[in-house]
């Protein structure tokens, strides 16, 4: 399958498909004319890439997952459990940092609004 057809079938732009190839996530062979040609399972590989990207995984983490993927998009070999757990722990840590930043910002905003309200009171 050529890159244009893979793009149509998956809804992923040609540019993004080339990026996946550059990142080692998708493999294309070159025809005698130099065009990219993808295997019949390429749409499934692209779908799996999209699912993993949607889960917040960077391409450097997706590469080993794709090598161990078996079956549907969410099915991976048990040996990848630690890798996935590390990614989840990282996301949880970022969420905790964002919640702390939100609480601090909420406090600052509340203090600013109190000061503005106090300044507006008649003396």
Q: Which of 8-22, 63-77, 107-121 is predicted with the least confidence, judged by mean pLDDT?
A: 63-77
Q: What is the rounded CA–CA span in Å between residue 50 and residue 75?
A: 14
pLDDT tens-digit map of 10-22: 999 999 999 999 9
What's the pLDDT at 120? Answer: 86
Cα–Cα distance for residue pair 33/11, rounded to 1 Å: 25
Q: Which CATH class is domain 1-76?
A: mainly alpha
d(CA 64, CA 80): 9
Q: What is the mean pLDDT of residues 80-109?
A: 94
In this predicted structure, the answer to whether residue 83 has a pLDDT above a threshold of 60 is yes
CA atoms within 13 A on the CB side of 4: 1
Mean of the pLDDT values across residues 49-71?
85
CA distance 62 to 68: 10
Enter the pTM of the model: 0.71
The structural domains of the chain, with segments of one domain joined by +, span: 1-76, 78-123
Closest C-alpha among 87, 59, 84, 82 to residue 74: 84
Q: Taking all residues of the chain, what is their mean pLDDT, rounded to a whole number?
A: 90
């Amino acid at each position: 399958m050529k890159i244009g057809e893979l793009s149509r079938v998956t809804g992923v732009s040609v540019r993004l498909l080339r990026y996946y190839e550059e990142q080692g996530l998708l493999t294309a062979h070159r025809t005698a004319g130099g065009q990219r040609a993808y295997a019949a399972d390429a749409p499934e590989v692209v779908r799996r890439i999209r699912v993993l990207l949607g889960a917040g995984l960077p391409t450097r983490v997706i590469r080993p997952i794709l090598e161990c993927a078996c079956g549907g998009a969410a099915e991976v070999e048990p040996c990848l459990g630690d890798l996935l757990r590390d990614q989840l722990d990282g996301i949880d840590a970022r969420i905790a940092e964002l919640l702390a930043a939100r609480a601090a910002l909420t406090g600052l905003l509340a203090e600013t609004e109190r000061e503005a309200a106090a300044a507006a009171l008649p003396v």
